[in-house]
Structure 1
Amino acid sequence: MTKRQNDHLRINDVLKEFVEANKLQDGLDKVNVKDAWQSMMGNGVNNYTTAIKLERDTLYVQLSSSVLREELSYGTEKIIKMLNESLGKEVIKKLVLR
């Protein structure tokens, strides 16, 4: 065990150290992307969203409506920009609608 430090640390700093030490950032990004998609797209799109998966820097979104998929395909760059802004960093570089 490491020696206990008596310094007063902010909880934010402690959590960042914990995430970095245990290499949890990728998993947190996957959860945060799903939450961002649901909050940004609203109920209309979420009703037709069947799966959301983040692999490396590509977001795969499976939709049950081909019409909605085609409509969203026209704005993929804007969707990527909005999601990255919501996440506070560039996590997504490519969006694939299935």
Structure 2
Amino acid sequence: MSKRENEHLPISQLLKTFVKDNKLEAGLDQVEVREAWAQLMGNGVVNYTESVNLQGHKLHIKLTSSVLREELSYGKEKIIAMLNEHLGKVLIKEIYLK
């Protein structure tokens, strides 16, 4: 029987290693960004949001309201700062509103 190398690692460390070894970071980041968008932007914006996709460091938001799209375009930098602060890391560098 083989001996375990790391018997006393905390579960959080084991999960981080598992995620990294299996290259799951991108998928988890995608889910975290969608949840952050819903929490920070509120129901008024979320109701007009068709899709939220993270590609690299670019966040693509598809909206059903051209008026809302124009309004949000004025505050892109603030939205990026809010989302990154909520996520706890610099994950988003650009936002594209469609």
TM-score tier after normalising by the smaller chain length: over 0.9
Partner of 1:54: 54
Partner of 2:86: 86
Instruction: Compute the RMSD of aligned alpha carbons.
Output: 1.3
Distance 2:54 2:19 in 1: 19
> 1:97: how far off?
0.5
AA aligned to 1:16 is: K
Deviating beyond 6 angstroms after TM superposition, the runs of 4 or more aligned structure 1 residues are: none
AA aligned to 2:89 is: K
Give ranges in structure 1 of 5+ residues lacking alignment: none
AA aligned to 2:49 is: T
- Identity of counterpart residues, as a percentage? 58
> 1:84: how far off?
0.5
> 1:6: how far off?
5.8
Distance 2:3 2:95 in 1: 45
Relative to structure 1, the CA distance from residue 6 to residue 92 in structure 2 (aligned partners, 3 Å threshold; closer, same or farther) is closer
Give ranges in structure 2 of 5+ residues lacking alignment: none
Could you say what secondary structure the match of 1:77 adopts? Answer: helix
